[in-house]
Chain A
Amino acid sequence: MLEVRDLVAGYGQAQALWEVDLTVDDGEIVTMLGPNGAGKSTLVNAISGLIATWSGTVELDGRGLTDIPSHRVAEWGIAVVPEGRRIFPEMTVVDNLAVGAYNHRAREASEETLEWVHGIFPRLEERSGQLAGSLSGGEQQMLAIGRALMAKPSLLLLDEPSLGLAPIMVEAIFEILRQINQAGVSILLVEQNAIDALDLATRGYVLEEGRIVIEGASSELLENEALRKAYLGL
């Protein structure tokens, strides 16, 4: 469903990605591993339209995403859980979720989607009227994921959702990602937490200095010597 070909992108003058190729098939969970500064966030931002691509193509179900205005990407079925969550801190939880369902396709179904999201994250229902900025870190991450689900995505992009969370919360979040995936949402998960990510994903890529250096099935990556040394500490 997602096909990234020869993607080149960066910030200002600084190039961060070199001809990246990447696919996510229908119903798949794919993980993108790599150290800090490898360009993982740039990749997420380029796919979700937050930054302009320099060259290359990003296609979702055969439709090119690089030529449309970035505020249309949500309507086409891509939702992002960005690095640092970036919820709207001075809006209530329920208003954050409503913004998630802003695109026309999602807005029509927003009531049912809200029920679904509340089912996944009962905590968000309890905190409905509270300002998002007053939530705990874990709750904010739930809200960031919930907001993205409200957009009714076919592809969910997550940029380091485990960052700064307690291990038990990380486990809970990954379990929920599995549940979301079973509901039919494909997932591209950018992570530094390689073991949990490979455990969840069917396939993985390793990005280093803006280039894909390793790719393969999760089981293969777990066996890969170089990767084990660098990311698993084994």
Chain B
Amino acid sequence: MDVDLLAQAVVSGVLIGGLYAMMSIGLSLSWGALKIINLAHFTFILIGAYLTYQLTTSFGIDPFLMIVIVFPLFFVAGALLQLFFEWAKVDEFRSLLISFGLFIIFTSLVRTVWTADFRRISSEDNPYASASIFVFGVALQVPLIAAFIAAVVIAVGTSLALSRTHFGRAVRAVVQDAEMARAFGIDPRRVAVILSGLATAYSGLAGVFIAMFQVLSPTMTFAWFGIVFSVVILGGLGSPYGALGAGIIVGVVGGVATVVWGPLSAPLVTFLLLIAALLFRPAGLFRRSTA
């Protein structure tokens, strides 16, 4: 076995794990804290990616600048979506059905606007796609490094906010006993709206980074389902650090399996890991959720 190749696989796995974490934190928060299994998060990632493609291509905006555009835009979208969920009185089970409907609608929307053709930001508009940094002979793609840093910032920031701030305590109180939280002055609706905004903004950001180094197609979301659900469940619902840790594990395991047994083995090994975790650590590998 080629040791260099293995080292490359591990390092890339860690970095792509950061991206997986960013793709998963939104769904994890939504599921863990709002009790909404929001499949629309997959389309938020997709739309975030296409929007990045479109604005960089049409106006030559630097892809990294898209972060400050996508974050507030998706925050508002997520907040409005939560108001819709509240209005529709969506519970955990029905959220699967309703958000699957939204998933289909948003996917069709993307297909209508951008067609089913593959899209990729041209290299003039996106100098980062082919940029790599070599560390000890291991090539690190710039977009992946950036995604990894962003994921760490999001995980650490969200976790600190949940544990240290008034808003974070309000979130945890609502998750544990919404009625009591309300009796002490917390408006559970307001908490849910803000949290949904954040969760959606994180998913949108994941899309920005994906657009920087991947070819976009409306059906690319299907490849994400297995990865994101594995990360969310391995990490423990509602746990940002858990999602980060699980993202890295899934990234490394997938990368190493690809090198050792070939690319088709990656999902198999990942899901075996998931099944083992569900058997032995059903609350996630990193127990200590927001709840």
Contact = CB atoms under 8 A, between A and B. Distances in A.
A86 B184 contact: no
A88 B168 CA distance: 14
Contact of B172 (A49, A50, A88, A104): A88
B170 A99 contact: yes
A71 B185 contact: yes
Interface in A88-112: 88-91, 95, 98-100, 102-104, 106-107
Interface residues of B, number: 18
B192 to A, nearest CB: 13
B291 interface: yes
Contacts of A106: 185
B182 A71 contact: yes
A73 B185 CA distance: 7
Contacts of B184: 74, 79, 99-100, 102-103, 147, 151
A100 B179 CA distance: 13
Contact of B177 (A49, A88, A95): A88
Chain B interface main SS type: helix
Nearest to B170: A102
A147 B173 CA distance: 12
B182 A99 contact: no
Interface in B160-206: 166, 169-170, 172-173, 176-177, 179-188
Given A102-B166, A107-B166, A91 B183 contact: no
A105 to B, nearest CB: 9
A99 B173 contact: yes
Nearest to B163: A95
A90 to B, nearest CB: 6
A65 to B, nearest CB: 12
B35 to A, nearest CB: 15
B180 A73 contact: no
B176 A91 contact: yes
Contact of A69 (B166, B169, B180, B187): B187
B185 A74 contact: yes
Given A91-B173, A147-B184, 14 more contacts: A50-B182, A50-B183, A71-B185, A71-B186, A72-B185, A74-B184, A75-B185, A79-B184, A88-B172, A95-B172, A99-B169, A99-B181, A99-B186, A102-B186
21 contacts: A71-B183, A74-B183, A79-B183, A82-B183, A86-B177, A86-B179, A86-B180, A90-B176, A91-B169, A91-B176, A95-B169, A99-B170, A99-B186, A100-B184, A102-B169, A102-B185, A102-B186, A103-B184, A103-B185, A104-B185, A107-B166
Which 7 A-B pairs rank lowest in CB-CB distance, beginning with the nearest?
A103-B185, A74-B185, A71-B187, A88-B176, A102-B185, A71-B182, A99-B173
